[in-house]
Amino acid sequence: MNYIDLDRTEGYKALIGTGKCTVQELLSPERIRNCDIRLGGGLRYNWAAMPISGDAAAKLQALADEEDLAGKYRELLSGAMMNTGEKRLVLHHLTRGNVLGVKVEADGEDKEAFYSGELERIREFSAAVRDGRIKGSTGKEITTVCQIGIGGSDLGPRALYLALRGWAEGSGVKQLRGEFISNVDPDDAAAVIRNLDFERTLFILVSKSGTTQETLTNRDLVLETLRKSPIKGLVPSKHMIAVTSKTSPLAKDDSMLAAFFMDDYIGGRYSSTSAVGGVVLSLCFGFDTFRALLDGAHEEDRLSLESSITENGALMDALIGFYLRNIMGYPATAILPYSQALSRFPAHLQQLDMESNGKHVNRNGEKISYPTGPVIFGEPGTNGQHSFYQLLHQGSDIIPLQFIGFRECQYGEDIETAGSYSQTKLNANLIAQIAAFARGKDDSNPNKEFDGNRPSSLIYGDRLTPSSLGALLSHFENKVMFQGFIWNLNSFDQEGVQLGKVLAKKVLAGCEGDDILKAYADLLI
């Protein structure tokens, strides 16, 4: 399937020539009601406060049609080799369901059957741990699960775990406590380990290759601590399981209690709906909770098939993001969830977006001249309002905003003060920020003047649940995918991660004659 050259395509030139409208000119009650798209999991995507006129929307639709973005998505789902850099299929959608109903085979294996089989193994194992059939080596039931991984083996699963804790408690779901160790900094592991009851803790070692330096270092640190423990009868191997690929060294390691598998067709930042996220979430909240998350993601995956941008929230979000980046020239996007449960979700999206589309060559390895992925950052509201919103409101750069909000809280614990509940106050702040960013404020005092025309979108729903969380995850994964298609990028490799790893090994080997490395090493090692 062809990819168009953004430097020459008529569709791109037409967009550049589109008369730019301001948010102030466009925003109206009718527009707020109409610029609203259904997502999966009971969520909706509202783009009313974006500087996209009817004419611009029509040209974005024309660009989507010219690039056949929906067709490229179908091609990916059908098992085409979309990861051109590593010559691999891209199959993370298949971990939560077969969107097209077509058989996808790789390495002589039915991949849907493989992922379904691993799901069943996760269901059985997590149930046995949660009901006490599988215990620690001293006979005590497991009450804490600690995941050891980095990058996609940590960011997504950690964000999803934190997002579901309040829902689980508010819904009366039995929980095992979740902990995470990621950084090779020994202080990270030490801070977690010192608060663990080893007899009641199960460690999950996550590395697709089985060779990740940071993860194996933390594994060894944990195992050494367990071995030195004075607890009689403590057997470290009965307190550690692996999530890895079938071909990794960890798959053959008989010192593990069990191993669950993913494969090379699932990139780390897209792996939260595979065993990477499935094992820890099923252990902590039960497999039914993880299944509901998968179902929400699958529903959004199906909605992302729509070719009409006014019916496909992920596609509309991607095209608007393209417009903001390439037409308006905005270099960053802020993710602003008005939900404390999503405190680590922006960090996950940083990796998802910036590792996927932070590229300077196209799918053919050719240098490109147009901007690609923006800088992603964010924090929950209202905390962020008292931090970096000053720059967002009155800074010299315009930064587009993506708000996320819910009508209800998770725990169900709220009080009424000064005539309103805390959740109402939270959402009042969210609403006020959208309006303030869009409309601005005139004032005779320049310090109190707001230019406005700061574009924003809103994803909203009733409550953050496993289903809505899965749909939210899928929405952003598919947005990033569509933008990679638009920019003609391979969004599924990450060569930018590799150079630092190579040089770090060189430093550990004594710098091997590299004077620059040696000079810096002398400062720290």
In a domain, 217, yes or no: yes
Query: Which of 248, 274, 294 is a domain's end point?
Result: 294
pLDDT digits (tens, 9 = 90+) for 470-501: 999 999 999 999 999 999 999 999 988 888 88
Q: Answer yes or no: do 243 and 319 share one domain.
A: no
Q: Identify the CATH number of the domain in which residue 152 sits.
A: 3.40.50.10490
Residues of the chain with pLDDT under 50: none
pLDDT for residue 19: 65
In a domain, 378, yes or no: yes
Q: Answer yes or no: do 467 and 524 share one domain.
A: no
Q: Answer yes or no: do 251 and 136 share one domain.
A: yes
One-character DSSP codes across 51-106 = S--HHHHHHHHHHHHHHTHHHHHHHHHTT---BTTTTB---GGGGG--SS----EE
Cβ atoms of 125 and 142 closer than 8 Å: no
**Which amino acid is present at 165?**
R
Percentage of the chain exceeding pLDDT 70: 97
Query: Which of 294, 318, 333 is a domain's end point?
Result: 294
pLDDT for residue 92: 98
In a domain, 43, yes or no: no
* pTM exceeding 0.85: yes
In a domain, 8, yes or no: no
Cβ atoms of 285 and 368 closer than 8 Å: no
Integer angstrom CA distances of residue 21 from 35, 63, 246, 319: 16, 19, 53, 16
Domain containing 267 equals: 111-294
Task: Give dist(CA 351, CA 251) in Å, integer.
Answer: 26
Q: Answer yes or no: do 489 and 381 share one domain.
A: yes
Q: Answer yes or no: do 245 and 376 share one domain.
A: no
Count the neighbouring beta carbons within 10 Å of the beta carbon of residue 326.
18
List phi, psi (to 5°) of 235.
Answer: -115, 105
pLDDT for residue 255: 81
List phi, psi (to 5°) of 98.
Answer: -90, 105
Q: How many domains does the chain have?
A: 3
Q: Answer yes or no: do 124 and 226 share one domain.
A: yes
pLDDT for residue 2: 65
pLDDT for residue 9: 61
Q: Answer yes or no: do 242 and 313 share one domain.
A: no
Q: Answer yes or no: do 405 and 441 share one domain.
A: yes
Contacts for 28-34 with beta carbons within 8 Å, 24 or more apart? none
pLDDT for residue 501: 87
Cβ atoms of 41 and 470 closer than 8 Å: yes
Q: Answer yes or no: do 125 and 145 share one domain.
A: yes
In a domain, 480, yes or no: yes
In a domain, 449, yes or no: yes
Q: Answer yes or no: do 218 and 328 share one domain.
A: no
Q: Answer yes or no: do 325 and 282 share one domain.
A: no
Q: Answer yes or no: do 316 and 463 share one domain.
A: yes
- For residue 251, give every residue at least 6 positions away whose Cβ sits within 8 Å of its Cβ, in sequence order, or none: 210, 242, 244, 245, 259, 261
Parallel/antiparallel/unpaired status of strands 44-46 and 105-106: unpaired
In a domain, 499, yes or no: yes
pLDDT for residue 506: 95
Parallel/antiparallel/unpaired status of strands 201-206 and 240-245: parallel
Residues identified as active-site:
355, 386, 501
Query: Which of 259, 294, 329 is a domain's end point?
Result: 294
In a domain, 37, yes or no: no
